[in-house]
Amino acid sequence: MTAQATGFFISVEGIDGSGKSTQAELLVDRLRQTGEVVTAVRDPGSTALGERVRALLLENSNAEPTDPLAEVALFLAARVQLLRELIEPALAADQLVVSDRYLDSTLAYQGAGRGLDQGRLLELHRLAGAERLPDLTLILDLEVGVAQERARPGSFRDRMEAEPTAYHERVRQGYLALALRFPERIVLQPAHRPLEELAESCWEVTRERLKTRRTT
């Protein structure tokens, strides 16, 4: 990196089936091809604790439903560990970080989806020392019906994916509301476009934001 370079934190968000994980991977590859040092993570996950929490949260079983606040507490525990163990050290070393989901997922899934107050969720993150927001968030927006059609027939659906359509509709609307609330960092990306076209759009937004950061 050049002397002007600074750590830059990017998150990629969207409802299940929007293609966010694929686009996050493509963005990481493109950044590395240009010589950037990139730490790629997923939330929850990427740490030993995070992967255990991920398996617990996404397990689709016949057990009693998890209380929404208990669900948030588990996500928050994994996020704090991810932040301390991987994200903060990478940013301190002037690296780029690309995260497949981050705090906005909680605001959309547990906030809009489960009906929890978003201010309360942000306060919980502040108290846990995890209020750090990404510098850029790409939200891949796709109609719920289209996202569900992309799922392979008979494929395993985790606990979140198996939620009713109405839940996913609330989550999508939650993401759209977040884009209006945080326009300085969130960029909506229509996800119905061909994979290569969407990837190019995500890359152009990222490239321009990085250029702006490094020339100011």
Q: Which residue has the higher pLDDT, 65 or 141?
A: 141
- 3-state SS class at 39: strand
CA distance 178 to 181: 5
Structural domain harbouring 108: 8-214
pTM: 0.93
Per-residue pLDDT tens for 165-178? 999 999 999 999 99
Confidence of residue 66 (pLDDT cuts 50, 70, 90): confident
Q: Is residue 61 part of a domain?
A: yes
Give the chain's domain count: 1
Q: Is residue 2 part of a domain?
A: no
Q: Is residue 101 part of a domain?
A: yes
Sign of CA dihedral 35, 37, 41, 47: positive
**Model pLDDT, residue 100:** 98
Extract the runs of DSSP E, i.e. beta strands, from 79-144: 96-100, 136-141
CATH of the domain at 136: 3.40.50.300
Q: Is residue 24 part of a domain?
A: yes
Q: Is residue 18 part of a domain?
A: yes
- Tell me: pLDDT of 156 over 50: yes
- Tell me: pLDDT of 5 over 90: no
Q: Is residue 1 part of a domain?
A: no
